Amino acid sequence: MASLANPTRFSRLSAKALPILLTLAGVLIAAGLWLGLIASPADYQQGESVRIMYIHVPAAWLALFGYTALAACGLFALVWKHALADVLAKAIAPVGAAFAAITLVTGSLWGKPTWGTYWVWDARLTSVLILFFLYLGHIALTRAFEDEARGARAAGILAIVGVVNVPIIKWSVDWWSTLHQPASITRFAAPAIDPSMLRPLFVMAAGLFAYFFAVVIMRARAELAARKARALAIAVAGRADLDVPAAAGRPA
């Protein structure tokens, strides 16, 4: 991790990784959409609405993964002063918020034909809504101070405190009686999903994860470039201020 803290090294490595990630994202998402929307069968209970799962479930995974990564960046920035942690956190937050919003919207679209309503104050839905607000709070705090370091510090504290919501989302369907169905894919048991539906789900998830990393890298590179430009502008302005008195004191 210490070696990647060097912005120059990160820029060099990310420049090589970015085209690979974008290619993987394009190919896998296209394949996942074809498998999920055309090749896979409809569910015997949910019918065609089951196809929302191929977007909803990977988006939910990425919303949780993104916030966990956000909290990790906050920890690295506050405790170990990792040089890139704040940059990565600023890059991750809007992308994670977008996936949390997609999770809420697709979940509502699935809920209407399944539950008869777009929204219920279900434990899983409510905790994901809180996750979305935590993302928005992080974005707002990073922009709330003129001093970028203060904003990043406040946002990092929020990310670390808010990470307690991640296990609540994960196990809410087990801890409380909810309308949301329990987990269909677990590590210690056979999946409750037919392989014809599981394959497109994993392909789509892999594509969206590649897309997530690609967008985060692009945003991080843009943020590093913006910070470098601001530093150069400040240096040039400071040099100009130093030259003014000298020029003013010269004889005509």
pLDDT tens profile 95-128: 999 999 999 999 999 888 878 888 888 888 899 9
User: Which domains does the chain show, CATH number per domain?
Assistant: 20-177+198-247 (1.20.120)
Of the two residues 191 and 217, the one the predictor is more confident about is 217
pLDDT at 157: 97
Instruction: Check pLDDT > 60 for residue 216.
Output: yes
Spatial distance between the Cα atoms of 204 and 46, rounded to a whole number of angstroms: 20
* Whether the Cβ atoms of residue 126 and residue 117 lie closer than 8 Å to each other: no
